[in-house]
């Protein structure tokens, strides 16, 4: 049976070159980076060279990169630091945010007022409403994800940053779905916090970072040693950091070429789906300027077999998602689809692509989807 992986928004296969970079570190560089002897110094040197490399890719200072276990920890660190260290008493976010932000904001509601900015049925943030919400004397943090992991809709980071600066508000963006997929220039963007997870762009799991603007003072949420300049205690994941750096090197080696190739696959799938089905639509934006080129969320018509869509595709070797893999154990439906007032009675599937996805795999997936709905391929 053919095996097709189209759930790259959940995680990506690790690049062979990343494995090759990590294995020697796992075998030979076992020294604790905090140790002053030669074994420790070699491990520390690997961490710092990786930090410099990553900083160069996004045009920031190496000291602005704080290594974490991934995007969730980085989001938690940004929000907690804002309230506990920066004195934020008002958090503005949206109902469509990843739970790493939404649940953290809710936990902080004992200490800060939480406001939700309006979003439209395509998932776009109402920037006029954001401007209204910011007209307050309270010290405020705006936390809005760069691109939604379920429906793919993007925000304009520069415009949001300008609105925040106009009102002297802090700005955090969950950029887990976009770092490694789009160019970033942190000096131009003027954002206080962004987050990264290596496994979203063919790097290892369990490693990521929080970017903290040099003008902002963050606070450690994990207490203990003085690693990461006292901001993140615990012995560093040396081989993970090396793998993250290598994955970012590969991602930005030809970021425009990767985008063109994967956008071509997404456009092809949209074209084929609309030719096969009369009654489907796409959640979120599909325009390439407003949407992730890696994500396509499809709402299908309902029939006797459609409730088993994801299960049936899995049996046929096609891996897709109904929403965020991070909450797949939950019984509730997608909070993102609810937030855009989608028809929750109809089946949906999120197809997400990578530079390793092929047109032949798209064709096979389309065959299996068509079979579920008893459609004949043109």
Catalytic residue numbers? Answer: 326
Sign for the CA dihedral angle at 342, 344, 349, 352 comes to positive
Instruction: Tally the C-alpha atoms within 13 A of residue 237's C-alpha that lie toward its C-beta.
Output: 19
Sorted by sequence, the CB contacts under 8 Å of residue 276 that are 6+ apart come out as: 366, 370, 375, 377, 378
SS3 of residue 343 by DSSP: coil
State how far Cα 118 lies from the chain centre: 21
DSSP assignment string, 279-314: S-EEES--STTTB-TTEEEEEPPP-TTGGGHHHHHH
Tell me how far CA of residue 75 lies from CA of 98, 153, 160, 225, 284, in angstroms.
10, 19, 18, 21, 23
Distance CA 29, CA 269 (A): 45
Sheet of 281-283, strand order? 281-283, 295-299, 348-352
On whether the CB atoms of residues 141 and 92 are closer than 8 A, the answer is yes
Give the closest residue to 147 by CA, choosing from 289, 247, 26, 5: 289
Q: From CA 372, how far away is CA 188, in angstroms rounded? A: 48
Residues 217 and 337: their CA atoms lie apart, in Å, by: 35
With beta carbons less than 8 A apart as the criterion, state whether 319 and 293 touch. Answer: no
Phi-psi region of 202 (alpha: psi -120 to 50; beta: other; left: phi over 0): left
Residue 202's CB is within 10 A of a number of other CB atoms, namely: 25
Residue whose C-alpha is closest to residue 280's, from 264, 303, 263: 303
Dihedrals φ, ψ of 119, to 5°?
-130, 150
Reported residue count of the chain is 378
């Amino acid at each position: 049976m053919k095996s097709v992986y189209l759930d790259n928004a959940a995680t990506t296969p690790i690049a062979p070159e990343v494995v090759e970079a990590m294995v020697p570190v796992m075998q030979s560089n076992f020294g604790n980076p905090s140790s002053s002897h030669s074994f420790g110094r070699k491990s520390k040197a690997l961490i710092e060279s990786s930090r410099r490399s990553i900083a160069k890719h996004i045009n920031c200072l190496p000291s602005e990169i704080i290594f974490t276990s991934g995007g969730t920890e980085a989001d938690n660190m940004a929000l907690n630091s804002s309230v506990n260290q920066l004195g934020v008493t008002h958090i503005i976010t949206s109902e469509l945010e990843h739970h790493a932000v939404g649940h953290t904001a809710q936990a902080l509601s004992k200490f800060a007022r939480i406001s939700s900015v309006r979003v439209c049925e395509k998932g776009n943030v109402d920037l006029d409403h954001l401007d209204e919400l910011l007209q307050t004397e309270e010290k405020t943090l705006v936390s809005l994800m760069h691109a939604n992991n379920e429906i793919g809709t993007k925000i304009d980071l520069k415009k949001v940053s300008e609105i925040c600066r106009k009102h002297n508000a802090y700005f955090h963006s969950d950029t887990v779905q976009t770092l490694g997929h789009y160019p970033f220039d942190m000096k131009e963007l003027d954002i206080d916090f962004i987050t990264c997870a290596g496994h979203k762009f063919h790097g290892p799991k369990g490693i990521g970072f929080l970017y903290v603007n040099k003008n902002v003072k963050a606070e450690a949420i994990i207490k203990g040693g003085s690693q990461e300049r006292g901001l993140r205690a615990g012995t560093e994941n040396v081989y993970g950091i090396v793998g993250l750096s290598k994955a970012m090197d590969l991602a930005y080696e030809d970021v425009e070429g990767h985008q063109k190739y994967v956008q071509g696959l997404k456009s092809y799938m949209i074209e084929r789906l609309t030719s096969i089905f009369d009654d489907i639509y796409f959640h979120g934006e599909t325009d390439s300027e407003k949407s992730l080129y890696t994500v396509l969320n499809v709402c299908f018509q309902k029939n006797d077999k459609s409730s088993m869509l994801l299960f049936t595709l899995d049996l046929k070797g096609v891996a897709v998602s109904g929403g965020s893999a991070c909450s797949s154990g939950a019984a509730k439906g997608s909070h993102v689809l609810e937030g855009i007032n989608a028809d929750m009675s109809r089946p949906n599937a999120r197809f997400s692509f990578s530079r390793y996805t092929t047109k032949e795999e798209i064709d096979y997936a389309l065959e299996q989807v068509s079979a579920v709905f008893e459609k004949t391929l043109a």
